[in-house]
Structure 1
Amino acid sequence: HGVRLWMLWAAKKLGLAAEIEKVEAPFWRPVTIRHLSLTPASGTALPVNFQADTVVVDLNFRGWLLGRDVAFLRSIAIDRVVGSFRVPERRISIKQLDWRQLARLTPENFQVAKLDFDVTTATTTVNLRGVTLGASAIEAGKFFARQISVTSPFLRQTFRDLRGATSWESSRLTIAGIPLAPGLDLESLAFDLSHLARRRLGIDLHLDTYGGTFRASFEGRAREKFAVDVAGSASNISLAQIARAFGFLEPITGAVHASKFTFRGNPGEFLDATASVWMELTDFSWRARRADNVMLGATYYDRRLEVDQLYVRQRQNELTINGELLWPRRKSNWAQLPFRGQLNATIPDLNGFAQLFGATTGDFTGALLAEGEIDALAPEAHGRLAFHGEEVKFRGVSLDSLGATLQLSGSEAGVEKLEARHGEDFLRGEGTIDLAAPHHFSGRLTGAINDLGAYAPVLPAFWRASQIAGGATFDWRGDGTLAAHSGTMQLFAHGLQLPVAPLRLPLDLALEGSYSPQDIFFRTFRVANERISLGAFLMLGSNFVELQALHLDFEGAPRVTGTLFLPFSFSRWRASHSLLAALDEEQKFDVDLAVDQLDLGALGRALGEESAFSGVLNGKVAAFGPLPALQVTTNWHLAQIGASAARNSIDLQGRYAGGRAEADATAVFGVSAPIKLRASLPLLLQKSRLEAGTVLDPDAPFSADLNAPALFLEA
């Protein structure tokens, strides 16, 4: 059947697959199509589905036979329509559409009855139910919708029994005079299809809103690159009434006194588009955010953002910003973005102003003043920006003074007079950085805290309910470039107590050192309390950790002494949290450690930890060489194991060399005979085998001898 074949061909040109149950095509009379179905064609990504019970089409044979630009259809009537369209999350090609063919399918008259259609995006769903729409070129038509519902994360509303009039003239459909809610009318909604052949679609919207108006126009152009022209204006719009009418899930109040906006370009390439906005908002309120007046005027063109004015007034709080920013076509360091701007802020109520930008009520109190001007567009960049706080509090922690000054001169930016003070506690800083590569900088940061517990409210939430105490002083100085810098640091803490091991009981901490691109060296490293003292010279190299003159004193006597040189990279461990990833198997181990009468249980209690081990430990360990050729000798004696007064002990002697580990252990528990173990294992200590868990050499012999006589259990 010719009509059926033509419809299948036309649907394919639009990227769709058509199924038709029956076609009735009497000669020179309207064609009736029963049960038409349109779905995405194989290999296309157009997510549309359409089913109609009956479609009656009056074909324009003159258009078919005589003219290339004459419409194919005189009229079309569709009954009982069900369909859906899902806006794809990824961009799809629209070049496959035959726009000229699509334009010639627009009829002179049309009627749609009982339409149910769903439009879905990633976040929003629009449902049309029971829609009847008719339009004619010679008389007004009617519009009726039994129900239109909108659901999104921000609003949820249903409009019922909507009635209006339609006009269809020169391929322009206008729907007008629809009361959406008391005081809210859709004055007109127009779809301009007259330029479809040139891949252009226009939409105009006019709303009367509670004494105010909203107008918007949209034109989409589907050429080599998709582009849109959007323009709109609004005046005297009540946000509270609009929010109720459209079903916003959270109350919004205020009024848009005046607003204009434009956009021209590809939404997916916003940086190459042009746009402008002017808005004056009064008595705004949303959640805890409140502002008496907000004015914004900005334009964007040729990758230049010009903010003519951003003004925010909130009772006595005032903020004014203006300036411009050039966005380069090539990726550039953020510090080198050319911009200029002026800032003036007087914030006597910091709490209310912080809430406007999303802070929790009560997080901030006090006043803040800021003013300055930066000009990085000038041949010689310059500027100054200063802020000063008075009686500022954050989560109840008060700052008696707060301030800093930012200076810009040429390519150098500097921070001067950075200071925050709370009682006798203070933080001071200063520094400079070159904004041009390689970003040379120098700076100093120093401070003192008398009682860390006073700052518990600003610490991580899981720490706040725990015991936090202690004081500290610190000083840092550094200079160099971001890629290679060096400096010195000092940290002295007393009575430091935090809910992490080993700081659950108060400890004193002393760190003095220096760092460079090659290593970090602490000439003073000491952790101590009334019972324990741990100290050493600590060096963190690029591929090793070294502790020299290591000593652990417990109860006034030396218990652990020696030196440690371990081929682990601290920076790689910090990045991976894996000792194996941090291990450099080409670097040598060098370990010489001795333990003398160390009470393990008492040590744990002195650190505030529940120790899994008890007993008095004596022993030595020595290791040397890279991992594949490592040599280890060790012997240990653990006595007074457990709470019983019985004679319990474990002795262990071990040796590893040439790929073989030898171990000889003896354990004595109470009056039982000794348990003895002797083992010889072939071990291949290589990083790859450690990672794979295949250290034991399956091709070499091994032995193990366990002698376990009768044990006497004591209650």
Structure 2
Amino acid sequence: MIDARVVLNLKHIFLHLSGRDIRNISVRELHAELHRTNPNVRVLSEHGWATLHRLLPETLSIAKLETRVETGPSLILLRNASLSASETEPGRFTAAELMITSPWVRQTFSQLRGATHWEGNRLTLAGLTLTHGLDLQAATVDFARLGNRRMGLQFDIDAFGGKLRANISHEWHSRHSNWKIAGGAADLLLAQISDALGFADPVNGLLHASNFTFRGNLTEPDRATASLWGELTGLTWRDRTAEALMLGAALYNRKIELQQLYIRQKSNQFTLSGEAALPASSSGWLRPDFRGNISASINQLGEFLALFGAHPADFAGKISIQGSMDTHGRNFGGNVTIEGASLTFFKHDIDSFSAKLTLKPSELQIERFDLARKNDSLSGEGKIDLSPEHNYSGTLDAWTNDLRDYVPIVRGTRRQKTGPVPVEIQATIDSSQWDVRGAIHFPKSSPLSFTASFPLPIGITWNAFQMSPLKISLDFPALFLAAAPQFFDSNILEEGILSGKISLSETLEQPRIVGEVQLVNGKLASSESFLNVIGGSTLAIFDGNHASLEFLNLETKDVDLALRGEIDFENTKEVVFRIAGSAPIFDLMSRRVDCVNKIEIAPVPPPFAPGGTELEFRGPLLGSGWSVSLKEEIGSQFSIVSTPDGAERVFPLCFGTGPEEKTLLLGAVPRAEVAPNVDQEKREKRR
């Protein structure tokens, strides 16, 4: 402090009269610093506060003021300021810079100017422009009860196109109730607030009204009482919109009461209310004691889910939700009922949807689940254990009028419009163990019935599922391929009758397959596929990890082949498929190739020497890396490229490696021409 002058009122001092003991304080330069690291330490005694109250002057003048206030993580700096205040005439306040730093606010204001008024132990600062769009209309510091260790602050600010008001008082004489805060806001523009706070994406809307109260010790929130109410209108942020959003909450008696969280969007309404006990420790927030009710009437589902980050085009329809939840005593309980109509989920239409869920301390129970789409339906019930294993049980029933609506790999044939493919499925789940049965009704064919039994725990990986025990059976007495749809956008078999009965057991990694599959009069739509075959018939009998081809009759444009073979899938990572013919097959390769993507069988007239070639395909069951090899008989002379007796020629298969065709050319005896009927020719000559 430099060059300070104090004018005393001695009459009041000696006679102990009411009024001020100091008439005037004048300071040319004042530097003040206040550091408070422990808020529980008493700054002054009760008598000291009373003395400080009596030292308040009638007039005050500070020509230059430098102030630094630190309390915990907060810092206030006032630089190159001046202050004058009087009970008889207006005063003024100026400051070159005011800086406020705290965990919530970091702001600096420059070149401040305003008017002051000192009356009734209240200092008022008015007409202060902090920054563009932020004007302090009036701020009053109340020292009237300073002797009782109580101060108050009131302010009225024009900010962000609206008004902010607050009344703050602090009492030192009370241990558990030393802060009283009441504030309100009206008509604040969210666009200006987002600009001031530097949001990357603009926020538009209006904070129409808001009120906030707090009473208690800031360091002991469990003993405090508080309330909050606010209303936002016309909220938009990115592609999120809401016509109105209201929040009301209160804190009292160690309880947080959510009076209302209300969201309105045109024809959408959502309401959440409830109460929760204030946790005694930070870990208690992970196990909240909450009771609440939820109610929603959503007529535009996509617009509502966009509030939570979903793409609005992926969802549509109407849905209503009613429910409650109770976590008292760490025991979960509650129920939710959901009804929906004309829904769209990820661009899939659903006519109606309903579900009823009940939450119990040890499980989530699905009392009812129904979904309908056109003539299709899915219904079920069940429960999910809330233990770490998350075992679940229940039943499912599904019916669809056309499998092609849900499985894109199933398509109609190119020759004709295929009829619908109805499917019915029933499933029973017990402790994550599925037992499934059902039937697929292909057009003009007998039903393909199937059963399956397999474990499917929550969170199982594909590798673990491949090693899990399972049982699958298929029974298809007669499947007419001409009326059946295509699979995988292919058109391999266009006609024929497929029949069989197959059962698979043990694991997908090491399967055991028993049964048989037969194809009669199979016709291919084109010979431009991997093998230039236009028709064929076969019978495959499976026995464990092997299968035998009792016959494999193939037909090309000029050749008929009668083959037999076997399949070895004991090791699914190296499946072996061997075929050999009763008539000789000739190797016509005139040059070596590094890989092949097509096999062509051409007619070969005599005089090729008799002999035979075995074809062997080898590769993983699921994946690439296949190869084809030619095994020639010892002593045969029909290979154009000379090879040792009994040699094996291996060609990797390279599907999809490029447009260039790399063909493995084989030869076979051409089909015999049908001899004319001699008796018929003689009759025609006689005529």
User: Which structure has the larger Rg over C-alpha atoms?
Assistant: 2
Q: TM-score, normalised by structure 1?
A: 0.48
User: Which of structures 1 and 2 has the larger relative contact order (alpha carbons within 8 angstroms, sep 6+)?
Assistant: 2
Q: TM-score, normalised by structure 2?
A: 0.50
